[in-house]
């Protein structure tokens, strides 16, 4: 599992202006001979090291000797191995092995993955603009992306794409779908769609366009005066999206805010700083307030980042929801808010990813991300957890913690530990050692093994997709808006019986006691997937609102949030 990159900047091109020098020193005389595949592979490795632009190439181990050793192994393997050798594959494996000896977040990204990873953090891609799932070997539209070419043509949730450019699309994999539907802006693709309730297939010619990938995927009013914003990652567009969401909610009467960073894996550091700046005021003397700082082995990576702007939301009562999957840039925001006693942190202790990566692009359109520094909250806490026990234990640990739920404003749960001690702006004791521990620890509701199995197999969505094939027109007619659907639509016993039969047919071990224990949650999930089909993420949130115990607890804590931030 790879968590979001905290990049010091979205624009750090790496110069290879002395790769040629490196090449001449390492391989003088080789170019006089035929330029073989093994030698080309070594050049890539040389570029890998050269891209770091180290001040010195000689350390305790002579880097020339190590590169020559690798050249010898690769050349001899290519020449003498019993089978044909894919030297590119071996080189990629060598790079992966090298980075695996460093830390869990220094990674190699092959060319096939780099474009998709880059699109995620740039917040856009080029294509037709749909979210899709493969249901019974058929491409099913989960929802069209608002403002995209598919939405503009009237393509709807639960439409089935059966042909692409006059060829059958039945049985396509996810990669095949993206290969055929994504493409440069302005190019055309023809699709044939089967729509529930419509007898004849529908043909569309879609002109691809730039499609935004939103990082703020929900902004709504929970009740009178309380706004809710969910951020799923920190991309290049997050600050703009956040400002738009805040203004929208302010116009709807927002006076308090729940900021949901649960399961947010991180992203760009500058976007995290800008988000924190929306809620932190500047120091009365200096006009700025520290948000985060970084420290590396090389002094040029030591940076301090401050909140400086005046924002109209600096006195808005604030509660941040976090989970054990909240990581990286999300922890920067949560840590700064906690350190300055600006609001409350509610949920589970965060993942504990406090390493800064920089991406270095390689000549074959691959890249690697190298950890160059660690980041620290304003009080001096290092958020990065230890990874001394290995990568497997590092990934497992957040899911095996035994935290005691309840009020943790004094952070008494950590008091008897050996963790380093720090203090918030108003003197509250907090602890370092990995992640941000909430001021109120609230775990998500435990579900039975039956419900977990159903969720893992995506059977809530798949059942609802089939249900909507028959009932979508009826629902649209009877429930013209989300308010009507929320108030009147119910998951009744006959529908639940059909659902039980369905999950049994998919190989789930049905247990009546488990079903009865989770019945309310199951009903909410089924209703939420149907609501999302018509009203997107707002529909989902409305259906699951009462089942979210962490969110419900947060709503009860605003008096404490105002008190700790001295807003009352």
The residues that are catalytic are 328, 339, 353
Residue pair 330/234 in contact by the 8 Å Cβ criterion: yes
Beta-bridged to residue 456, according to DSSP, are none
Structure token pair of residue 277: 């700046």
Closest CA to 292 of 271, 313, 311, 309: 271
Angle, helices 269-279 vs 238-251, to 10°: value is: 30
β-strands 256-260, 216-223: how paired? unpaired
DSSP letter for 426, please. T
- Tell me how far apart the alpha carbons of residues 100 and 107 are, in angstroms, rounded to a whole number: 8
Helix (H) or strand (E) holding 222: strand 216-223
Residue with tokens 């080309």: 40
Contact between 375 and 332 under an 8 Å Cβ cutoff? The reply is yes
Within 10 A of 117 (CB to CB), how many other CB atoms are there? 16
Residue 262 contacts residue 326 (beta carbons within 8 Å): yes
Which helix (H) or strand (E) is 276 found in, with range? helix 269-279
The answer to whether the beta carbons of residues 196 and 158 sit under 8 Å apart is yes
Give the list of residues 6+ apart from residue 260 with CB closer than 8 angstroms, or none.
Answer: 218, 228, 229, 230, 231, 320, 321, 551
Q: Find residue 367's DSSP bridge partners.
A: 109, 361
Collapsing DSSP to helix, strand or coil, 477 comes out as helix
Q: How far is CA 339 from CA 280, 423, 436, 500, in A?
A: 11, 7, 10, 48
**Cα 281 to Cα 340: distance, rounded to the nearest angstrom:** 10
Both structure tokens of 183: 């493409």
- β-strand pairing of 440-441 with 406-407: antiparallel
In the numeric block, the tokens 């009203």 are attached to 535
Q: How far apart are CA 464 and CA 78, in angstroms?
A: 54
Q: Is the dihedral of CA 57, 60, 65, 67 positive or negative?
A: negative
Q: Give the pairing of strands 167-168 and 202-207.
A: unpaired
CB 258 within 8 A of CB 440: no
């Amino acid at each position: 599992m790879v968590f979001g990159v905290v990049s010091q900047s979205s624009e750090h091109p790496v110069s290879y202006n002395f790769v040629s020098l490196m090449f001449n020193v390492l391989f003088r005389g080789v170019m006089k001979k035929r330029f073989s595949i093994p030698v080309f592979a070594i050049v890539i490795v040389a570029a890998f090291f050269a891209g770091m632009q180290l001040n010195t190439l000689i350390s305790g181990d002579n880097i020339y000797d190590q590169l020559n050793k690798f050249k010898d192994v690769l050349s001899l393997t290519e020449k003498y191995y019993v089978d044909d050798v894919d030297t590119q594959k071996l080189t990629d494996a060598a790079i992966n092995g090298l980075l695996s000896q460093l830390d869990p977040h220094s990674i190699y990204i092959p060319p096939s993955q780099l474009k998709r990873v880059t699109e995620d953090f740039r917040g856009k891609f080029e294509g037709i603009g749909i979210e899709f799932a493969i249901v019974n070997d058929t491409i099913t539209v989960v929802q069209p992306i608002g403002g995209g070419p598919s939405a503009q043509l009237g393509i709807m949730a639960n439409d089935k794409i059966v042909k692409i450019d006059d060829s059958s699309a039945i049985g396509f994999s996810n990669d095949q779908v993206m290969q055929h539907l994504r493409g440069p802006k302005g190019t055309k693709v023809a699709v044939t769609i089967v729509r529930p309730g419509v007898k004849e297939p529908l043909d569309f010619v879609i002109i691809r366009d730039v499609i935004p990938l939103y990082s703020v995927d929900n902004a709504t009013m929970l009740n009178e005066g309380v706004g809710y914003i969910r951020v799923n990652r920190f991309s290049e567009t997050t600050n703009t999206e956040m400002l738009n969401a805040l203004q929208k909610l302010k116009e709807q009467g927002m006076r308090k805010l729940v900021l949901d960073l649960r399961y947010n894996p991180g992203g760009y550091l500058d976007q995290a700083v800008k988000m924190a700046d929306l809620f932190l005021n500047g120091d009365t003397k200096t006009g700025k307030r520290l948000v985060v700082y970084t420290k590396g082995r090389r002094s040029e990576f030591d940076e301090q980042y401050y909140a400086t702007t005046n924002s109209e939301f600096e006195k808005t009562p604030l509660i941040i929801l976090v989970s054990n999957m909240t990581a990286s840039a999300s922890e920067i925001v949560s840590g700064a808010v906690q350190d300055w006693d600006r609001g409350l942190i509610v949920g589970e202790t965060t993942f504990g990813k406090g390493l800064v990566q920089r991406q270095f692009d390689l000549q074959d359109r691959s890249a690697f991300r190298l950890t160059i520094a660690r980041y620290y909250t304003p009080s001096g806490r290092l958020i990065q957890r230890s990874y001394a026990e290995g990568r497997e234990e590092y990934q497992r640990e957040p899911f095996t913690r035994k935290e005691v739920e309840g009020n943790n404003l004094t952070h008494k749960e950590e008091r008897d530990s050996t963790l380093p001690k720090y203090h918030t702006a108003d003197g509250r004791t907090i602890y370092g050692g990995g992640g941000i521990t909430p001021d109120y620890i609230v775990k998500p509701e435990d579900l039975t093994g039956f419900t977990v199995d159903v969720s893992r197999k995506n059977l809530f969505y798949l059942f609802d997709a089939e249900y909507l094939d028959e009932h979508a027109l009826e629902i649209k007619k009877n429930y013209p808006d989300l308010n009507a659907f929320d108030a009147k639509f119910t998951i009744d016993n006959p529908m639940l019986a059909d659902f039980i039969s369905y999950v049994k047919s998919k190989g789930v071990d049905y247990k009546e006691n488990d079903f009865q224990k989770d019945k309310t949650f199951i009903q909410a999930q089924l209703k939420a997937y149907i609501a999302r089909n018509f009203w997107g993420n707002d529909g989902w949130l409305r259906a699951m609102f009462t089942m979210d115990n962490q969110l419900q607890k947060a709503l009860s804590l605003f008096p404490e949030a105002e008190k700790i931030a001295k807003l009352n």
